[in-house]
Structure 1
């Protein structure tokens, strides 16, 4: 069985109103690839290093699904709304399964 995949995103939003277009558009890609939000905003405290104002963790059924979602035309169209109005650090990482 393949390990789950995750997107870990840290985002500073410059224009909250314009960013809403990204939120509205990304749902189709996430649904297509079986994504589930684990963390979507919420309170946090930076205890080491630096942070951004918004944090997101999205779980996918597999690492490949996480990569495929990001590279899909549907997500890339949504991302076009995010890029001009925010600064983001996003990684896609394979989950750990302890057998």
Structure 2
């Protein structure tokens, strides 16, 4: 079974209020086996557009990633985030096929 991922790009307009979202999302992520792979580190944007904060979260499966997004716990956290940030989130299924050699 392939893992699932959230790929998020976020601009935060109120960093202090955003901290409440970080606290609120922790329970939903724990419940669905989430693991941060990227959490707002340094980045370059060689093509296209960007936002100030980039996040990649790994889940045990694509279904777990979808379930987390749709969970009451995450939806409550999202209501905290939306007034203080603008984001783009994509939920994708991981790839387990051949790799370049």
TM-score (norm 1): 0.97
After TM superposition, give the deviation of residue 73 of structure 1 in Å: 0.1
Alpha-carbon distance in structure 2 between the residues aligned to 1:61 and 1:37: 12
Q: Would you say 1:73 and 2:83 are equivalent positions?
A: no
Task: Report the RMSD for the aligned CA atoms in angstroms.
Answer: 0.7
TM-score (norm 2): 0.95
Alpha-carbon distance in structure 2 between the residues aligned to 1:63 and 1:30: 14
Task: Specify every segment of 5 or more residues in structure 2 that has no aligned partner in the other structure, as ranges.
Answer: none
After TM superposition, give the deviation of residue 98 of structure 1 in Å: 2.2
Aligned counterparts, 1:55-74, within 5 A: 55-74=54-73
Question: 4+ runs of 1 displaced by more than 6 Å?
Answer: none
How many pairs does the alignment contain? 98
Alpha-carbon distance in structure 2 between the residues aligned to 1:19 and 1:81: 8
